[in-house]
Amino acid sequence: MRRKILSNIHSDKLFEQIYDYLLERIRRGEWQAHEKLPSVRTLATEFNVHRLTVFKAYQLLKENRYVYVKDKSGYYVQPSGLLSMNTLHDPIVSAYVHDSHLSEIHQVEAAFQFSKALLDPNLLPNLYFSEYVKKVFDLYPKVLGTYSTTQGDQELREALCRYFAKHYHFYVSAEELLITSGSQEAIDLVARVLIKPRDVILMERPTYSPAIDVFRRQGAVIVSVDIHPHGYDLHQVETAMKQYKPRLFYLNPTFHNPTGCTVPAEQRKRLVELAEKYHCLLIEDDPYRDIYFNEQPPLPLFSYDTAGYVIYLRSFSKYIAPGLGIATVACRPSFMNYFIRAKSLSDSGAPLLNQKIFLHYFFSERMQQHLEKLRIALAVRKDILEEELSLTGWKWSSPTGGFNLWTQLPDSIPMEELLTKSIEQSITFVPGSICDPQRELKSWIRVSYSYLNEQQLREGFKRLICLIHSMSHAEK
Ligand SMILES: Cc1ncc(COP(=O)(O)O)c(C=O)c1O
């Protein structure tokens, strides 16, 4: 029975996750050359999977020469395997950053950047920024000579408390907010504080790809939960919570990256109940909430939480001033102390100047008017892609907010070749498999409509479609 549930959730790629997990630990140097690895039986019990699944993972490690077998004794770390890792990557660096495919794609210089879920800088009121910067220096002449506290500027945290109470009906005190440098840092803090190797966590499938890398690096075993335009299959969520007792569920339920889906209000309430019932924390990542095209989205899960199971990550860096990189974590004091301590190990707080500029800019009337215009501009850009897509016969999920469009291409398209050819034509996009904890979803791509202007969007997307058509015809 247990295995049946497992295979529903993982399909047949569970062994790859175990492979990745073992490889990650070998890379970190947790086992030395010629050291014996845990037995198939031990790992099968630990992960609650069939022994064959672990066996398959070990076989693949053996084929790739990371481990060798001694008859009747077990699997051992292959020294040459360590060597090849260490010569390919710096041994210290590789333990942390070897998985970051998305940042690699972002580094490609291209005229048509569909890979960047970033705002076109021309959509920001750049000319007005200098006024706010000047205002901040007038109000706080010593701002450059001062550190923020690790938890973040008190004045900003108090303003955010009022904002959350007014707009999202959740009530936190300034002590329950931590200011971070973007929500990427917040995800990293969550992983460092809450996850130890072998903890099971739930993630949406697909999901925000750097979060996969962060949790994997921390040694988490990822169980995935599908996300659809109508939200989750709550039966699948409950089954996974019951079965694996995950430490946390990392989710992005509002204008989800990459699908654009939004989880309805009834499901949000139920998820919070499930979290409480199964003692699974919900890490709600919410950077796109204000970018809605028609209706406002449902309240955050955090608003429904009374028992402290939701940790809310709210980035403002996506569309207010990416250059300031301001986000906040809202959670109950029991967690907050750990987050502050973990953050103090990497810095002494987000830069104070950024926090003060953000404070005066975000809460200004001008910013709120600007947001209105931004929503319209982004909706127009999204419509341009949808117009072009409607001529192709491909499937996509139509977002009601956010920056991304998730599109399925004909099955026959070899994704790596498409990426190579499109980069040759100065076009970038994100291959779906990068966003999949199971590394499948090979016929899907994420295209962002936030970064290019209308003319570039249309031209670049036409070119991309044309390239895909030429490749699918060549396949026939
Ligand atoms: C779902 C999600 N979480 C977190 C981030 C990172 O946000 P930040 O720029 O605040 O670090 C992004 C950025 O694309 C995102 O899409």
Q: pLDDT (tens digit, 9 = 90+) per residue, 99-147? A: 556 777 777 888 999 999 999 999 988 888 888 899 999 999 999 988 8
Q: What does the pLDDT read at residue 106? A: 76
Q: What does the pLDDT read at residue 99? A: 55
Binding site membership of 287 for ligand 1 (Cβ less than 6 Å): yes
User: Within 13 Å, how many C-alpha atoms sit on residue 125's CB side?
Assistant: 19
Binding site membership of 182 for ligand 1 (Cβ less than 6 Å): yes
Q: 209: CA distance to ligand 1 center in Å?
A: 10
Q: 387: CA distance to ligand 1 center in Å?
A: 27
Domains located in the chain, CATH noted? 2-98 (1.10.10.10), 102-123+367-475 (3.90.1150.10), 126-364 (3.40.640.10)
pTM passes above 0.75: yes
b (16+ CB within 10 A) / e for 344-378: eeeeebbbbbbbbbbbbbbeeeebeebeeebbebb
Instruction: Determine the atom of ligand 1 nearest the C-alpha atom of 118.
Output: 14
Q: 435: CA distance to ligand 1 center in Å?
A: 13
Binding site membership of 285 for ligand 1 (Cβ less than 6 Å): yes
Strands, E assignment, 230-377 = 248-251, 281-285, 310-315, 326-330
Binding site membership of 252 for ligand 1 (Cβ less than 6 Å): yes
Q: 287: CA distance to ligand 1 center in Å?
A: 6
Instruction: Determine the atom of ligand 1 nearest the C-alpha atom of 322.
Output: 9
50 Cβ contact list (under 8 Å, min separation 6): 3, 44
67 close to 61: Cβ distance less than 8 angstroms: yes
Q: What SS3 state is found at 318? A: coil
Binding site membership of 24 for ligand 1 (Cβ less than 6 Å): no
The list of the chain residues with pLDDT below 70 reads 1-12, 80-101, 475-476
Q: 229: CA distance to ligand 1 center in Å?
A: 20
Q: 315: CA distance to ligand 1 center in Å?
A: 7
Q: Write down the residue that tokens 């929503």 correspond to.
A: 375
